[in-house]
Amino acid sequence: MFRPTRRAVLTQAAALPLLGLARPGFALSPVVPPLLTATSRQIEVLGRAATVYGMVGADGRSGIHAKAGDRFAGAVLNDTAVPLVHHWHGQVMAAEGQDRAYTGGGELEPGGSDLIDFELTPGTHWMHSHQLTEQQLMAAPMICREADAEDIQEHVLMLHDFSFKAPEEILAGLGGAMMHGAGGDMGGAMAGMDHSKMNMGGGGGMMTHANDVAYDAFLANDRTLADPEVVQVDPGARLRLRIINGATATAFWIDPGMLDSTVIAVDGSGCAPVSAKAYPIAQGQRLDLIVTIPAQGGAFPIFAQVEAARMRTGIVLATAGAAVPKLADLAEAGAGNLDVSFDAMLRAVQPLPDAAARMEHVMLGEEPGYRFTINGAIHGEAPPIAAKLGERLELMFMNPTMMMHPMHLHGHHFQIVDVGMGRFAGPRRDVVVVNPGAMVTVAVDLDKPGSWFLHCHHLYHMATGMMTELRVS
Ligand SMILES: [Cu+2]
């Protein structure tokens, strides 16, 4: 893990008062170490050096690790050479303007800092750039330990998809162009689509596909299975894994192998405990998984296998002295596509109270030239969805496209209330999987004014237009 020296931190702190800061609502930080620094760093992937980004806390760890009641208060410094649009994913107590991912939020220039102050939302959350740099690991955990969290060992597992190509090149290869004409090359219809990846998915025999980017590797805490992270655990112990899918274009199945396992929270919100053989996690989603280490000890891989594929990554939980076996990065059998059967089993610990709701239809779309739309428009082409402060809104997503879309709403934890099997008090989440051919409804109480992005968490779908705004006033 990248650890800045104390000297580096102090140097940054000393430099802060000199940094330009031209944003209304943000004041210049006094001489204190930055709470968080966006930085460049080097990692090794499959024996090759790679320059990626990172977001490092004042304690030198990746991201923020706090407890319920703590505030995220201090300076966020952009110590990279690229502008930054930071987003605190899952932080529902942050007012609009506390991150830059909203219309008018602008970019934090290289060398600039923002002063941030909000109470952290308990749960497993994360942070990432709202730009193509997310592909280059501009992302980190944002963990706020719940007041009632069981007193057991915890470990954060962050997943990424990795390419040695620049994200602009990946986007051009897909045939996509950045919305607002910000670079990219308009290719032919579906150019770069890898039709060998086509597979018959759900949705009544529709030809669906997944994994439209050919990645070089899949990372679990920055490492592949060639050299996985090994976490020391005690025989017989219970361990809480806080799993974050920080991949931009890849959904996974978490496979705890022979370990007994139970999910107790999704997207940072508690759910009634559910056990399964494998657990789906789409881009942006989180899973809090309790696993039990057998009393006799040993080494236990936790795999994350790419949906509709054999590729996988993971970490190993091992008791003292256990031999860690060599782990293949291809599973014996391909995984299925993500679907809603897992969400259908989940029930929120804190469901929304009964209330009358107003319905908005959100039609997802895909047009030639790798152009992904919401209600027929790319971001900026259509007015925002207008909503009233205090109202209960239901968003009914409909997906006639050939790909799954993990739909994310900023600033709120909605509740899934219908996945096509009748109404239910499903899980609280902030990213919902909408499969090809599916109709999924979420309910949300709009308790904060502002303009909140509603977008697909597939980075290249968002970048080419699949984003709109909920304007709450
Ligand atoms: Cu999408």
> Could you tell me the two tokens for 355?
């209330």
pLDDT at 95: 95
CA of 404 to the centre of ligand 1 (A): 6
The strand ranges marked E within 343-384 are 358-367, 371-374
Helix (H, G, I), strand (E, B) or coil at 172: helix
CA of 469 to the centre of ligand 1 (A): 16
CA of 466 to the centre of ligand 1 (A): 7
Residue with tokens 């806080």: 242
CA of 405 to the centre of ligand 1 (A): 4
CA of 388 to the centre of ligand 1 (A): 27
Helix (H, G, I), strand (E, B) or coil at 104: coil
Could you tell me where in the chain the CATH 2.60.40.420 domains are found? 6-146, 216-338, 358-472
Distance CA 244, CA 343 (A): 17
Contact (Cβ atoms closer than 8 angstroms) between residue 346 and residue 427: yes
CA of 366 to the centre of ligand 1 (A): 9
CA of 430 to the centre of ligand 1 (A): 15
Angle at 346 between CA 289 and CA 222, to 5 degrees: 35
* 195-242 confidence digits (pLDDT tens): 333 343 444 455 788 999 999 999 999 999 999 999 999 999 999 999
CA of 64 to the centre of ligand 1 (A): 28
The arrangement of strands across the sheet holding 86-89 comes to 64-67, 139-145, 123-129, 86-89
CA of 275 to the centre of ligand 1 (A): 28
pLDDT at 446: 98
pLDDT at 180: 45
pLDDT at 179: 63
Residue with tokens 């599973």: 331
Please state whether beta strands 198-200 and 279-281 pair in parallel, antiparallel, or not at all (unpaired).
unpaired
CA of 113 to the centre of ligand 1 (A): 31
CA of 364 to the centre of ligand 1 (A): 8
Helices (H), 214-333: none
CA of 32 to the centre of ligand 1 (A): 40
pLDDT at 56: 97
With residue 243 as reference, give the H or E element that holds it. strand 238-245
Amino acid of residue 182: A
CA of 399 to the centre of ligand 1 (A): 10
CA of 68 to the centre of ligand 1 (A): 33
CATH number of 216-338: 2.60.40.420
Q: The domain at 6-146 falls in which architecture?
A: Sandwich (2.60)
CA of 379 to the centre of ligand 1 (A): 13
Nearest to 235, CA basis, from 292, 157, 290: 292
* Low-confidence residues of the chain: pLDDT under 50: 1-25, 27, 29-30, 180-204
* 353-384 confidence digits (pLDDT tens): 999 999 999 999 999 999 999 999 999 999 99
CA of 334 to the centre of ligand 1 (A): 22
CA of 456 to the centre of ligand 1 (A): 5
CA of 26 to the centre of ligand 1 (A): 33
CA of 137 to the centre of ligand 1 (A): 19
CA of 320 to the centre of ligand 1 (A): 43
pLDDT at 226: 97
CA of 281 to the centre of ligand 1 (A): 15
CA of 403 to the centre of ligand 1 (A): 7
Q: Which CATH number fits domain 358-472: 3.40.228.10, 3.40.50.300, 2.60.40.420, 1.10.10.10?
A: 2.60.40.420
pLDDT at 374: 98
pLDDT at 178: 72
> Could you tell me the two tokens for 263?
């999910």
Q: Count the neighbouring beta carbons within 10 Å of the beta carbon of residue 465.
A: 26
pLDDT at 264: 98
